[in-house]
Amino acid sequence: MVKPADRYKSGVMPYAKMGYWDADYVPKDTDVIACFRITPQDGVDPIEAAAAVAGESSTATWTVVWTDRLTACDHYRAKAYRVDPVPGIPGQYFSYIAYELDLFEEDSIANLTASIIGNVFGFKPLKALRLEDMRIPVAYLKTFQGPATGIVVERERLDKFGRPLLGATTKPKLGLSGKNYGRVVYEALKGGLDFVKDDENINSQPFMGWRDRFLYCMEAVNKASAATGEIKGHYLNVTAGTVENMYERAEFAKQLGSCIIMIDLVIGYSSIQSMAKWARKNDMILHLHRAGHGTYTRQKSHGVSFRVIAKWMRMAGVDHIHAGTVVGKLEGDPNVIKGIYSVCRDSFTKKNLEQGIFFDQDWAGLRKMMPVASGGIHAGQMHQLIEYLGEDVVLQFGGGTIGHPMGIQAGATANRVALETMVKARNEGKDIWNEGPQILADAAKWCAPLRAALDTWKDVTFNYESTDTADFVPTATPA
């Protein structure tokens, strides 16, 4: 036992000795737990590095301060309690750190993240640092609203069940006038899509002001709805330079009868929470485009894994989140994507190291978030998409709808027929993973748009190595 007088003598002391390392610590049910991947500088002991992360992300500074003695400082110190080498990657370690609940303000992602990913990511003794996963205690979760609408209520409002939803992003992303833009929306919705989407960088530019876009898009939505007898929607992007402007745009979307609005991740966590509260209050579905995330989620050595961002966004209260396609043009290892989809849709997520899930997570009744698969996917991959991504997902075929050789309506129809055909076959007990291409080919015999889609994109695949992969491989259990 160190004497207090020695412990608090002015000077520098290893973080581990300051109380930020405790190998015997057993996390409480109410602790926030984080798993970091740490890459210490050469010669830095991993345990000291883990303790430093715990210290810098909670109460510590670089030197001893006597003012600690005015507080219940043991209570507030985060505790690193476990350090494991990363399998197969020398020099990297998974460190587990527990944070007392009193460190955090209720209902504030900003406060949570200011600690967990605050100063600590620039800390010199580490070459790199990555937040891999977090366990959010039920006690803390219960202070958050969660998704404004949630998967179940969204489906009931839209009256669409039993199949993934279908969407597309209007292309070209930039440059269309409001009137031309609405044309794309109408064609795609009438052809069979449930949703069309603004892209992340469509806000209010010289070529198209936001009010114009909203007015034409709602004409398209309502016209398509009357033409098909289905509820349709267009994600009106309300992203703007200030929250006040976003409220104004959201109010206008509501006045026009839109069922859904959209925001970008780059607006920041507090703005997202504000918009989620607005959406809950105004019966609006809230779509989140994860613009910007690739800057910090993709590299395995440094940053924040997307599964953590997904957890924060479910707490913050969005209804839709782009979460990967596996087969499309954007980053996505199948196992890692499965893990992220679980974070979005589970009531209870079980620890699964192969999928990058380091902790059991009880979601405490928080509503579920609809994952969105978007980016370089087409009708010919329908069997793979359903097999990988399941049913509660929005499949977005932008180019695959608008670039169809027979036109946008035909493109939408091709996707919808491929989708319904595949769901029907799966329900009938067919082995869609293996028979998928044949099932699509058979449907293409009576559906010319599907035939054309299959012919156009038959050879398109994006087979590149994923950078963000899980570090644990399945091991055979001895019999």
Partner 1 sequence: MKITQGTFSFLPDLTDAEIGMQINYALKQGWAIGVEYTDDPHPRNFYWEMWGNPMFDLRDAAGVMVEVLACRKAHSKLYVRVNAFDSTLGFESTRLSFIVNRPKDEPGFLLRRTEVSGRQIQYTTESYATRAPEGRRYE
- Would you please indicate which residues are annotated as catalytic (active-site) residues? 171, 289
Instruction: Evaluate whether 80 touches 53 at the Cβ level (below 8 Å).
Output: yes
Q: How far is CA 107 from CA 133, 145, 318, 346, in A?
A: 19, 8, 14, 21
Rounded to whole angstroms, how far apart are CA atoms 86 and 324? 25
C-alpha R_g of the chain: 24
Nearest-angstrom CA–CA distance, 17 and 439: 64
Could you say whether residue 138 binds partner 1 (CB under 8 A)?
Answer: no
Q: Could you tell me if 209 and 245 are in contact, meaning their C-beta atoms sit under 8 angstroms apart?
A: no
Least distance from partner 1 to the Cβ atom of residue 424, Å: 6
Distance in angstroms between the alpha carbons of the first and the last residue of the chain = 47
**Contact by Cβ (8 Å): 58, 80:** no
Query: What ranges in 61-196 are assigned the alpha helix state H?
Result: 73-76, 109-116, 138-141, 150-158, 178-191
Interface with partner 1, residue 416, by CB under 8 A: yes
Near partner 1 by CB under 8 A: residue from 231, 441, 448, 473: 231
Tell me: does residue 228 bind partner 1 (CB under 8 A). yes
Query: According to the binding rule CB under 8 A, does residue 445 interact with partner 1?
Result: no
Is 448 among the residues that bind partner 1 (CB under 8 A)? no
Beta bridge partners of 58: none
- Residue 413 lies near partner 1 (rule: CB under 8 A): yes
Span 10-69, contacts to partner 1 by CB under 8 A: none
Report in angstroms how near the CB of residue 210 gets to partner 1 at its nearest: 13
**Judged by CB under 8 A, does residue 301 bind partner 1?**
no
Q: Is 459 one of the binding residues for partner 1 (CB under 8 A)?
A: no
Q: Please enumerate in sequence order all residues whose Cβ is within 8 A of that of 277, keeping only pairs 6 or more positions apart, or say none.
A: 145, 148, 317
* In the complex, least distance from residue 339 CB atom to partner 1, rounded to whole angstroms: 18
Beta bridge partners of 261: 236, 286
Q: How many residues bind partner 1 (CB under 8 A)?
A: 37
Tokens of 30: 């109410």
Report yes or no: 144 and 317 within 8 Å, Cβ to Cβ.
Answer: yes
Q: Kindly tell me which residue out of 7, 127, 155, 329 binds partner 1, with binding defined by CB under 8 A.
A: 155
Name the one range near partner 1 by CB under 8 A: 1-9, 38-46, 127-135, 158-166: 158-166
Of 41, 63, 71, 255, which lies in the binding site for partner 1, with binding defined by CB under 8 A?
255
18, 50, 218, 310: which one binds partner 1 (CB under 8 A): 218
CB 289 within 8 A of CB 321: no
Among 127, 423, 462, 466, binds partner 1 (CB under 8 A): 423
In angstroms, what is the minimal distance from the CB of 138 to partner 1?
15
Binding mask 324-343 for partner 1 (x = CB under 8 A): --------------------
Query: Strand 394-396 and strand 165-167: pairing?
Result: parallel
Of the candidate residues 22, 45, 230, 435, the single one contacting partner 1 (CB under 8 A)? 230
Residues that bind partner 1 (CB under 8 A): 152, 155-156, 159, 161-163, 192, 215, 218-219, 222-223, 225-231, 255-257, 347, 368, 413, 416-417, 420-421, 423-424, 427-429, 443, 446
